Amino acid sequence: MLQVTQKIGIKRIIIAIDGPAASGKSTTARRVAQRLGYTYIDTGAMYRSVTLKALRTGILDELRRSPDRVFALLREITIYFDGDHVFLDGSDVTTDIRENRISREVSFISSLKPVRDKLVEMQQQLGRTGSVVMDGRDIGTVVFPDAELKIFLVADARERAKRRYAELVAKSQDNSTLPDLDLIEEEIRQRDKDDEEREYAPLKKHPDAQQIDTSSLTIDHQVEIVHNLALEVQRSGR
């Protein structure tokens, strides 16, 4: 399913891209991977898949009362990638995991230590040979603290809300049902707070990570910046 192509003689590196919601991590990581011929691993999609599983099985409220119930959920779950598609228990959930209800609940699921332990193990297995670009919230601090290139993307909350709203408009057939911009911004700020304050693997910048503010950058520009940084690391052999 996951395939890596790599030019002979070029150092195989791991690129870790972290940052808050809607800072441009996924799009940047995907395009940088394409340009380098690397494998892109969307760790956020993995946490969203677990969240979707919890919602579909109806145990989300039970997990709030008894977090240990998540062990049974994790024993029965399979997640894998095929190109840009995400599969949960054999079904394509690429679109389903991007629903707003998943965005509202994924921080809670991500805060559960058994979930993070399980998915971190899976992520480390996927990236162990190098030639990968992985994005998330703890890639540079927990999953691959020794990654040769660590990036931390940030952006103004209002700008991130505009991006999220534009995504929802593009996917919706009835814009009258969409949440307004202020509500989306409020949810993003709350998501930031939840991610930064959770007990296990909180969102934070690794000391060695290069921070890039994407508030006023186009996707093409930020992709170019990260791609050039990757080429510098490859050529230096660091």
pTM of the model: 0.85
- Can you list the pairs that 231-235 forms with residues at least 24 positions away whose Cβ atoms lie under 8 Å? 233/11, 233/13, 233/148, 233/149, 234/10, 234/11, 234/13
**Class at the top of the CATH hierarchy for domain 14-223:** alpha beta
Q: How far apart, in Å, do the first and last CA atoms of the chain sit?
A: 29
Q: Looking at 89-93, 103-107, 213-217, which range is the least confident one?
A: 103-107
When the pLDDT of each residue in the chain is averaged and rounded to a whole number, the result is: 91
pLDDT digits (tens, 9 = 90+) for 98-123: 988 998 899 899 999 999 999 999 99
